[in-house]
Amino acid sequence: MTIWVDADGCPSAVRQIVLKACRRTGTAVVLVANRDLPPPRAAGASVVRVEAGADAADHYIAENLEAGDLVVTADLPLAAEVVERGAKALSPRGEEYTAESVQQKLSMRDFMEAMRGAGLAGGGPAPESHRNRQAFANALDRWLAQVKSLSE
């Protein structure tokens, strides 16, 4: 099993949580970005730099993941594709995407985009918090425990 990180939009603190888990468990981690990232200090972790462009990292992850892998992303279309392909998708805030939840979120995103376009809504997601990082770490630990129990 591999943990794929959509590193272009992933907070640094979340990347560090993933790398710490990689060091602790020996799970393979691939950070995918369209910019240079510092080399990860964990055996089994690597960085893939893709061409610049919208969704280039998303396409790379979708083309290379396998069923059962975990993808860390805030990108809803990528999360939908990940779930459809039999892998798990987890937001950097610790929310596991399911087929149902990702479709609901896509619908809400489209609705809010229309509202903002009409000048009826503003803003974006709340700032990243310690609670979000803790929720992510807990969700990641649950996935790692599931993977471990399946391999035993």
The tens digit of pLDDT for each residue in 47-99 reads 999 998 888 999 999 999 999 999 999 999 999 999 999 999 999 999 999 88
Task: Name 109's Cβ contacts closer than 8 Å, sequence gap at least 6.
Answer: 76
| Eight-state DSSP code of residue 55 | T
Grade residue 152 by pLDDT with cuts at 50, 70 and 90. low
The whole-number pLDDT of residue 57 equals 95
**pLDDT computed for residue 147 by the predictor:** 87
Number of Cα atoms under 13 Å in the Cβ half of residue 57: 24
Domains in the chain (CATH in brackets) are: 2-151 (3.40.50)
134 pLDDT above the threshold of 90: yes
